[in-house]
Every structure is written in structure tokens, then in C-alpha cells.
Chain A
């Protein structure tokens, strides 16, 4: 599944660095990230909130908010560098080749536009469909994402649908032009637990049906266990671990990953106890420690961690498993 041949690479990001302008000069938010997604692969991107997951994905599409920009790096999609494309070319990719599903279905749909029209918009723009064709396709898409009564439902406004239904609509919009890659940014965070599982199942089914690649961003490792092929763990804008999903669950190497796994709530836990096993919070942009960004919170931190930055390196004897930690071996022994 995780082939490494270049023609199998759909998305290949190298050294992506994102900065924010602050009063005291630029501060790094995303620090030279490498990541790749193969055709047909589903990649999970995991990390606490504020680790730079969203900005990484938004920067690929050049959708960064004010005062935040890509300082360096390349992002090749289907062989072309997204950072160097003209705006016109990029617009074709957005929505056409890469579909996006945002976190909050309540605010990511235009409140004054019927959902049928919002579905039709990319079809008219990217596929040159007539209004009528687009409308028929919109009905099909709503049916595809499991919305009952799609013929009537295309007339509804976003506020007339429940959160789960709206997220299905968002997914339908993201899929409208049958993109090669679907990027879902915490698509279930705003939803009830039961609905979360339904959305995961939905995307799982659609991925197989449409043969697309998926990047699924989440802070919830448990949710995506059955969905993704590979996981990268982000901390403070750097990749700290990259491994096939089973390998990651069985042998997590980075102390941060281990903390995330340990903090998956058991049924007996109070919701508030999540992430309690890692004290503290990720560093603010511009306040990153000198050495390993995780050092201030790391139970295994050594002297070298405070002076040197660990590189993302393959873990011995496990080809596609990489981690950035001076104590990776120790972590394995502890596991």
C-alpha cells in the first residue's frame, strides 16, 4: 500500500515552512515538514490542536489567512508544484483535483444559499455543466453521501439540516468533481460521537468506490484506526513520527505519540481526563524551545534534547517507520 515509487506519489511535500508575521518579526508555525500521499492511500495527520495541522493543509492550497505565508518548501501534486502554479491553474486544482472538507459544518456552508446551489457551483465551474445537469448531479451526490430524500433536500438551507447532515453535504461538495485527493480537516470534531463513526464509515466506503486518496486530519487517534493506512504525528509544526497505522499502534516510538495513545479515553474515563497523560501544552508560535520542540513536556528528555533538534529518521529494522527522537530506541524497549 505504501509504495515509494515516484509515479505512485500523488502529493509530495518537501521542507514546507509556514511563518506568521508578528510584532517581533516572523515566527515559524510549520517547520520544514516533509510528507507524501500515494495514490489510493489514506493518510492520517494527528496532533493536538495548535500543532499546525490545518495551516499545513491550507498552505498547500495557498489558502492561508492574513499575515501567514509559506516561507519555503515545495508541494508537488500530481507532478506539479502547487506553490509555483498561477492562480488560474491553482483554481482548477482547488475543488477540481483536491477536495476539502472543513472542521465546522455549521459555518463552512454559505448560510444564504440552498445546498443544491452550493453543490452545483463547483460542477458548473469545473465541469462546465449546465444548471440543470448540475442539479441532477447534486441529487446524485446527496444520495451518495447518504442523505435521505435528496430531491427535496437540495432545496434546503444549511440551517435546516442537522450537524451530521451538513457534514455529509460538505463531503458531497468536496467530492463533487471526483477529486484525486480529499483533504478532511477534523471533519468530525464538531459532531456527536455516534455521528463521528458514521462519517468515518461514509468516507471509507466512498474512498473505495471512487479510488481517491484521503488526508484525514484529527486529534483523535482512536477514531481513525480502521480508516487510514499510514499516520504522521505532528508536534509544534514538525513531523515527529511517520508509520503505517498498525505499526504505530503496536510500536509507537515517539514519547508524544505514546502520550497520545495513552490518552485515548477508556469508557470509564471522564471526558476531561483526555491528554492528561501529557502535561502542558504545545508551544506558541515564536516560543519554540531550542532543541527538540517536545523537550519541555517529555518524560524522557535528556541533555542533548535541549540543544539539538532530532531528525526524522527511519527506525532500525522497520523500513517505513520513521521518528524524530533521540530516545527512540529506549521508547521501544519501554514498549
Chain B
């Protein structure tokens, strides 16, 4: 009985114990993914602590020092009101992360619940939910966001004004919350369908995979089959989707802010900074370059990490 071997097994030098350790091990060997991860960690740190550490207030105007080129005093220079661009970019990072995390979390919850219900319980839930998904996906994102902005902004503002007059609570004076509320709501509304589709497809396909029948034929309990066979196989693609989704949400926030239907000045967002910078870029290119470069870097970082996670979590697809 001779054993024929067509593919040599590639074995790691120090075998890790679990799927997750193993995925981490593979991720570590992927330079681009690690670069992406480092950038993301740095940006996340900036988003959380950055605004407390910057030398200038992001709103602080210094009319003596307007439109300055980058220097040691102002790393990214100053804008037309003499505000420190570096501090504003740092605060824009907070805006970007806040929006991306909140929107992705909402979209993930909605998408996972709807997708799992559709995949697990089948019709009629499946039909209704998939119809909802298709309809949502077929509406142009920008159109939807513009409509939401146009139709809801004024009523919400009026309601807040009324609340303020009633309670005199300064919270209701802070119109910046309206921006965020609308951004969170509208972006979550357009972001959940991919998660719903993914989760539904995962549940459907894993449930009928031969290895699930094989596990049942081994007499394994439903609990073990769920935790060791179904979930680990479903989680990989979902984690990859979340990583990509965070990047997409960040770009989307910038795009909407750029177009004036997202976060509005004076709250800094990379998008509205790019919009401002674009008007004067021939004279003061740093005003455009600084936020654009950071946005580009963040976008690339999430995409590298997403690809790396995809390879690390799917040992079948990796080389």
C-alpha cells in the first residue's frame, strides 16, 4: 500500500493551537495587512486621544497666521481662518471613526439579524427580507441621503429648538448632533443590505455543506456543530466584510460631507476639509493635500487589512 502524495503539506514551524491564533499567525506574515493594521491602530488612537493632545484647538482662529504653509509650528499649515490644519485633521479622524464605527455597528446588527432570519427560517421571511434588501440597494445612495437631509433636517432642528425653549438644556442648542444623527441614520440605512445578504448566504450554504452532514454522521451534538463547524465557517467572511465596511463607511462619510450632506462645518471632517481645500488648491495645496492624504491612507489601510484577513481566515483560499 503505497501512499501517493500530490501536494506536499506546508506546515508552520510552530503550530498554533486554535483557528484564531492560526489566523493571526498567517496575518502576521502578510506585510501589507500588518501595515494596514498599524495605520488603523494609529488612526484609532488619534481619533480617541488626538483631540486632547493637539497643540491648538481645532476651532481656534488666528487671523494673524492665515493660509500658512506647513512649518514646525503648524505641521500641516493653517487655513483661511488661521486654524491649525493638523488639529483639524486630527479631529476629522475622530469624526471619521465615530461615523464609521457607529454606522457599521448599526448596519451589522440589522444585517445579521435580517440575514439570519431569512436564511434560517426561509419563506415567507426570506422573500420579504430579500425584497427589502433589493429595494434598498436599488435606491441610489446619494439620492437617498439628499432626500433624508432635505426632508428631515428642518423638522429635527425645529423639534430641538422647541425642546430647548422648553427645557433650556444647552444640549438641544448643539445642532452638530443633528448632523450626526442624520449621517448615522442615513448611512446605516444604506449600509446594512450587504451584511444581510452575506449572513443569509452563509447560513444557507453552511447548513447544507457536506461537512455538516458528516459532523452529524459522527454523532456530534448540535452545540458542537454550531460552535465548531457553522460559526467558525461563517465568521471569516463576516469579519472581512466588517473590515471592508469600516473603510467604505469612512470614505462614504467624507464623500457626503464633501457634498454638504454629511458633517457640516465648523465640525471638521476630512470630506468638508477637502471641499474647502479644493476651492483654493492652486494657491494653498496643503489645505487639500493634508485631509486627502489621510483619507487615502485610511482607505488603503482598511483595504489591505481586509485582504489580509480574507487570506488569514480562509485557509482554503490561501496559497
Binding site for B on A (CB under 8 A): 58, 61, 63, 65, 90-96, 100, 102-104, 107-113, 121-122, 125-126, 146-148, 152-153, 155-165, 168, 170, 173, 194-195, 198, 201-202, 205
A107–B3 CA distance with the chains assembled, in angstroms: 21
Which residue of the partner chain A has the closest CB to B213?
A: A63
Residues of B1-18 whose CB lies within 8 A of A: 1-7, 9-12, 15
A-B contact count (CB 8 A): 119
Interface string of B215-227 (1 = CB under 8 A from A): 1111111001000
Q: How far is the CB of A33 from chain B (nearest CB, A)?
A: 20
Question: In this assembly, does B35 line the interface, its C-beta being within 8 Å of a C-beta of chain A?
Answer: no
Which residue in B1, B2, B3, B211 is a CB contact (below 8 Å) of A110?
Answer: B211
Which residue of the partner chain A has the closest CB to B216?
A: A63
Q: Which one of B48-56, B110-118, B228-236 is at the interface?
A: B228-236
By the criterion CB–CB under 8 Å, are A91 and B315 in contact? no
**Most chain A beta carbons < 10 A, residue from B1, B218, B220:** B218
Q: How far is the CB of B80 from chain A (nearest CB, A)?
A: 54
**Most chain A beta carbons < 10 A, residue from B9, B15, B215, B236:** B9
28 CB-based A-B contacts, threshold 8 Å: A58-B213, A63-B216, A91-B219, A94-B218, A94-B219, A102-B214, A103-B210, A104-B210, A107-B210, A107-B211, A108-B214, A110-B211, A111-B314, A113-B228, A121-B228, A125-B224, A147-B3, A148-B5, A152-B11, A155-B11, A155-B12, A156-B11, A157-B316, A162-B7, A165-B3, A165-B5, A168-B3, A205-B1
Q: How far is the CB of A192 from chain B (nearest CB, A)?
A: 9
A216–B254 CA distance with the chains assembled, in angstroms: 62
Interface residue range, chain B: 35 or more
Q: How far is the CB of B288 from chain A (nearest CB, A)?
A: 45
Which residue in A94, A109, A164, A198 is a CB contact (below 8 Å) of B6?
Answer: A164
A135–B211 CA distance with the chains assembled, in angstroms: 21
Q: Please, which residues of chain A bring their CB within 8 A of the CB of B19?
A: 112-113
By the criterion CB–CB under 8 Å, are A122 and B1 in contact? no
Which residue in A90, A103, A111, A164 is a CB contact (below 8 Å) of B316?
Answer: A111
Residues of B178-227 whose CB lies within 8 A of A: 208-211, 213-221, 224
By the criterion CB–CB under 8 Å, are B211 and A109 in contact? yes
Given contacts A113-B19, A113-B232, contact A201 B5 (CB under 8 A): no
By the criterion CB–CB under 8 Å, are B9 and A152 in contact? yes
Which residue of the partner chain A has the closest CB to B10?
A: A160
By the criterion CB–CB under 8 Å, are B215 and A110 in contact? yes
Given contacts A63-B213, A108-B214, A111-B316, contact A162 B6 (CB under 8 A): yes
By the criterion CB–CB under 8 Å, are A198 and B2 in contact? yes
A158–B233 CA distance with the chains assembled, in angstroms: 14
Given contacts A112-B232, A113-B19, contact A125 B10 (CB under 8 A): no
- Interface of chain B, main secondary structure: loop
By the criterion CB–CB under 8 Å, are A94 and B3 in contact? no
By the criterion CB–CB under 8 Å, are B7 and A107 in contact? no
Residues of B29-87 whose CB lies within 8 A of A: none
By the criterion CB–CB under 8 Å, are B220 and A112 in contact? no
Q: How far is the CB of A109 from chain B (nearest CB, A)?
A: 6
By the criterion CB–CB under 8 Å, are A198 and B4 in contact? yes
By the criterion CB–CB under 8 Å, are B6 and A102 in contact? no
By the criterion CB–CB under 8 Å, are A146 and B219 in contact? no
Q: Please, which residues of chain A bring their CB within 8 A of the CB of B232?
A: 112-113
A328–B208 CA distance with the chains assembled, in angstroms: 42
Q: Please, which residues of chain A bring their CB within 8 A of the CB of B6?
A: 162-164
By the criterion CB–CB under 8 Å, are B214 and A121 in contact? no
A136–B315 CA distance with the chains assembled, in angstroms: 25
Known: A111-B233, A162-B7. 7 other contacts (CB 8 A): A95-B217, A100-B214, A102-B217, A108-B213, A125-B219, A160-B7, A198-B4
Interface string of B107-133 (1 = CB under 8 A from A): 000000000000000000000000000
By the criterion CB–CB under 8 Å, are A94 and B217 in contact? yes
Q: Please, which residues of chain A bring their CB within 8 A of the CB of B313?
A: 112
Which residue of the partner chain B has the closest CB to A90?
A: B219
By the criterion CB–CB under 8 Å, are B228 and A146 in contact? no
Q: How far is the CB of A128 from chain B (nearest CB, A)?
A: 13
By the criterion CB–CB under 8 Å, are B211 and A108 in contact? yes
A103–B1 CA distance with the chains assembled, in angstroms: 21
A95–B12 CA distance with the chains assembled, in angstroms: 31
A126–B12 CA distance with the chains assembled, in angstroms: 30
By the criterion CB–CB under 8 Å, are A122 and B220 in contact? yes
Which residue of the partner chain A has the closest CB to B214?
A: A108
Q: Please, which residues of chain B bring their CB within 8 A of the CB of A168?
A: 3
By the criterion CB–CB under 8 Å, are A91 and B4 in contact? no
Q: Please, which residues of chain A bring their CB within 8 A of the CB of B12?
A: 155
Q: How far is the CB of A146 from chain B (nearest CB, A)?
A: 5
A201–B220 CA distance with the chains assembled, in angstroms: 29
Interface string of B286-319 (1 = CB under 8 A from A): 0000000000000000000000000001111000
In the A-B complex, the 6 residue pairs with the closest CB atoms = A95-B218, A94-B219, A95-B219, A162-B6, A100-B217, A91-B219
